[in-house]
Amino acid sequence: MKTIRYEVAGRVARITLDRPERANAITLAMPGELAECVEEANLNPAVHVIALAGSGKGFCGGYDLVEYAETQAPNHDPSEPWDPVADWQMMSRNLRGFMSLFHSDKPVVCKVHGFCVAGGTDMALCSDLLVIADDARIGYPPARVWGVPTSALWAFRVGDQRAKQLLFTGDLIDGRTAHEWGLAVEAPPAAELDARFDEFVERIALTPVNQLVMMKLLVNQALFSQGLQATQALGVFFDGIARHTPEGYAFQQRAAEVGFKEAVRQRDDPYDAPQSRG
């Protein structure tokens, strides 16, 4: 494992995103390694529940896009024909890795501290339950340009109105708001997050594995019946399209000129400016 740390203690399997020097940013290897860890936990009869977390200052800062955005990446040259299936193959493979959390036989509880943004929210929302620090920040800023959430779970988790509020603006919400909206089951103070999370995970671990598997299958069927798979197919295709719009090409060109972080800052500046309510 190059991006993830895996360990088992008692009835709990712990999967930890382990690239703290890069804000646990997602590489092409990470979704596959995530799926491997989930499978290992599912095959271990001693494990009842999976605890997902991130090392360092935050849960996950999204995809590691610096090199991709600052160079002329394959299949991203506006002077050449774009092959949408190439994007589909890459992003659908990543989505399968994230959705291993959703499809896991055993429940997955995700702990969020610091920040959980962009692609990081795919892992958080594909988990069964979310425990977030009250001061943590979560959201999908690439909705402003260059991205679409491939897991497409926002509407299922917070309802259509709040999903549109987040995705029409790319705004972040704090942990308290995530709890109020029903996105998280708890939002303790940051200093209490680890203890509260562990207590909650251990409580779930008291339940027999067979009961946990049946309960998860039962609830997940409701999401499938609402069209989750079709919605995700759109999300994956739209994510590729978002990088090949005029605005998407302009963003990539700007990142090549001034660097990815500065391009993101310039993208977000108008949203961060004080808004007149008059």
Residue 278 forms part of a structural domain: no
Q: Give domain status of residue 205, yes or no.
A: yes
Distance separating the N- and C-terminal Cα atoms of the chain? 54
Q: Within a domain: residue 81? A: yes
Cα–Cα nearest to 167, from 222, 84, 235, 253: 235
Domain count, the chain: 1
Question: What was the pLDDT predicted at 273?
Answer: 81
Our CA angle for 54, 156, 248, nearest 5°, is 70
The answer to the question of residue 196 being in a domain is yes
> 23 lies in a domain?
yes
> Residue 148 falls within a domain, yes or no?
yes
Q: Which residues pair with 132 in a beta bridge?
A: 112
Residue 40 located in a structural domain: yes
CATH of the domain at 105: 3.90.226.10
- Residue of 113, 110, 94 lying closest to 23 (CA atoms): 113
Would you say residue 277 lies in a domain? no
d(CA 212, CA 206): 10
- Domain region containing 84: 4-272
For residues 166 and 171, give the distance between their C-alpha atoms in angstroms, rounded to a whole number: 6
Q: How far is CA 276 from CA 270, 271, 273, in A?
A: 12, 12, 10
Q: What is the reported pLDDT for 278?
A: 44
Are 273 and 267 a contacting pair, CB within 8 Å?
A: no
Q: What pTM was computed for the model? A: 0.95
pLDDT for 67: 77
For the chain (length 278 residues), average pLDDT per consecutive 10?
97 98 96 98 98 98 90 85 94 98 98 98 98 98 97 97 98 98 98 98 98 98 94 96 95 94 95 68
Q: DSSP string covering 55-86, please?
A: -TTSSB--B--HHHHHTT-TT--TTS---HHH
